[in-house]
Structure 1
Amino acid sequence: MSEQPSELNVTITDSAQEYLRDLLAKQDCEGIAIRMFVSNPGTPNAETCIAYCRPGEEKEGDVAMELDGLKAYFEGRSIPYLDEARVDYSSDKMGGQLTIRAPNSRMPKVTDDSPIEDRINYVLYSDVNPGLASHGGQVSLVEVTEDMYAVLKFGGGCQGCGMVDMTLKEGVEKTLKEKIPELAGVKDITDHTDKSQAYY
């Protein structure tokens, strides 16, 4: 666990801190904190999330920030994508709303040192999906296995498509292995028996 580094550029407004403190107080758990992270960072599907973080639930690589009566953890991998993020709370007649704006959450920030999942997502969204989009399809990463296979899921016009094996081997796998040499290959877990949206 590391304390707040200079590159952590996240604003949690006073009103948001007050709201979050009240939420945490209702959890009846001493030492409970919040944890902020971006799921699917650097992709069009990126979502910025705030979750409860009970003592011991923080992860290795998380960065801690001490606020007034509030402790926040930030997922280490998400920090580049949380740059300039702002958490605010505004009250209204319906009770109020917590808003999270993370303008860089969808911006690809990939280097050779980035986690392999981020590098795969970058290649899928910048090189592979634009080609599949012409058929109304897309592919997304589910996980990377211990033996370095990328487990992928096709959707849209690719699901159930008779050409998907060729697309997978000649297109997707070839492109990924060119860009990410340590990748052993790809596996497809899509249910291709559903041909309702298939292109071919």
Structure 2
Amino acid sequence: MALVTVTEPARDYLAQLIEKQDVEGMGVRVFVTQPGTKHAETCLAYCPPNEVVPTDEKIDLEKFVLYLDHASVPFLEDAYVDYSKDQMGGQLTIKAPNAKVPNVDENAPLNDRINYVLASEINPGLASHGGEVSLVEVVEGSVAVLRFGGGCQGCSAVSLTLKQGVETTLIERVPEITGVRDVTDHSVKENAYYQ
């Protein structure tokens, strides 16, 4: 069962919005567009009774029913919906740490586990420099071949990032990995963070 946490303020806020729709039995649907990709977005939408899908997971939140899109369920694990009041009225926030990559266990294929660590731990840090890293392949059974993109490509600090950050984290999280190799063409420097 996917666990989506909806805080009390978020429930109250959503219940108020639903009331204004004036539709009997209106619920809220949660789904992920492009799940498992870096473009994944977690969305909330009204769900009138005629749009309920039989495969939806239903969570009764007393004030309304939350419907989880069946295909999105693995990507909604640990999702968190909150509402905080501010000067402009308030803000509804949705955090879904597994939307881009579903949570994987130690029995998952090696590539899936490497991609999970890259998406959940490494790329969020590189994103502040407009960069990202992706897995190309695993060679010799234990060497992850990586390609850097965005602000990492051509960056003078990339070898440091690769060894200190990426390699250390990957070896720590995925014990079968013995090292990483970079296949990026770093002679291309147009978007580099450090030149």
Q: Indicate the TM-score class for this superposition, using the shorter chain for normalisation.
A: 0.5 to 0.7
- Contact 1:38-1:47 at 8 Å conserved across structures: yes
Q: 1:12-69, CA deviations, whole angstroms, 9 ceiling, x for partnerless residues?
A: 0000000000000000111110000000001000000000001120123111111121
Structure 1: unaligned runs, 5 residues or longer: 1-6, 113-124, 135-200
Q: How many Å separate the matches in 1 of 2:77 and 2:2?
A: 7
Question: Are residue 80 (structure 1) and residue 80 (structure 2) matched?
Answer: no
Residue in 2 that maps onto 1:21:
15
Q: How many Å separate the matches in 2 of 1:17 and 1:46?
A: 24
Instruction: Report runs of 4+ in structure 1 exceeding 2 Å deviation.
Output: 108-112, 125-128
- Contact 1:33-1:73 at 8 Å conserved across structures: yes
**Map of 1:8-47 to 2, 5 A cutoff?**
8-47=2-41
Q: How many Å separate the matches in 1 of 2:51 and 2:77?
A: 23
% identical equivalent positions: 45
State TM-score, norm by structure 2.
Answer: 0.53
**Map of 1:116-155 to 2, 5 A cutoff?**
none
- Contact 2:56-2:70 at 8 Å conserved across structures: yes
Cα separation, partners in 2 of 1:55 and 1:75, compared to 1, 3 Å = same
Question: Are residue 102 (structure 1) and residue 113 (structure 2) matched?
Answer: no
Structure 2: unaligned runs, 5 residues or longer: 110-133, 138-145, 151-195
State TM-score, norm by structure 1.
Answer: 0.52
Residue in 1 that maps onto 2:46:
52
Q: How many Å separate the matches in 1 of 2:136 and 2:56?
A: 31
Aligned length: 115
Residue in 1 that maps onto 2:56:
62
Superposed CA RMSD: 2.5
Which amino acid in structure 2 is aligned with residue 73 of structure 1? Y
Which amino acid in structure 2 is aligned with residue 44 of structure 1? K
Once the 2 structures are TM-superposed, how far is the Cα of residue 95 of structure 1 from its aligned partner?
Answer: 0.2
Q: How many Å separate the matches in 1 of 2:84 and 2:40?
A: 24
Residue in 2 that maps onto 1:156:
none
Once the 2 structures are TM-superposed, how far is the Cα of residue 9 of structure 1 from its aligned partner?
Answer: 1.1
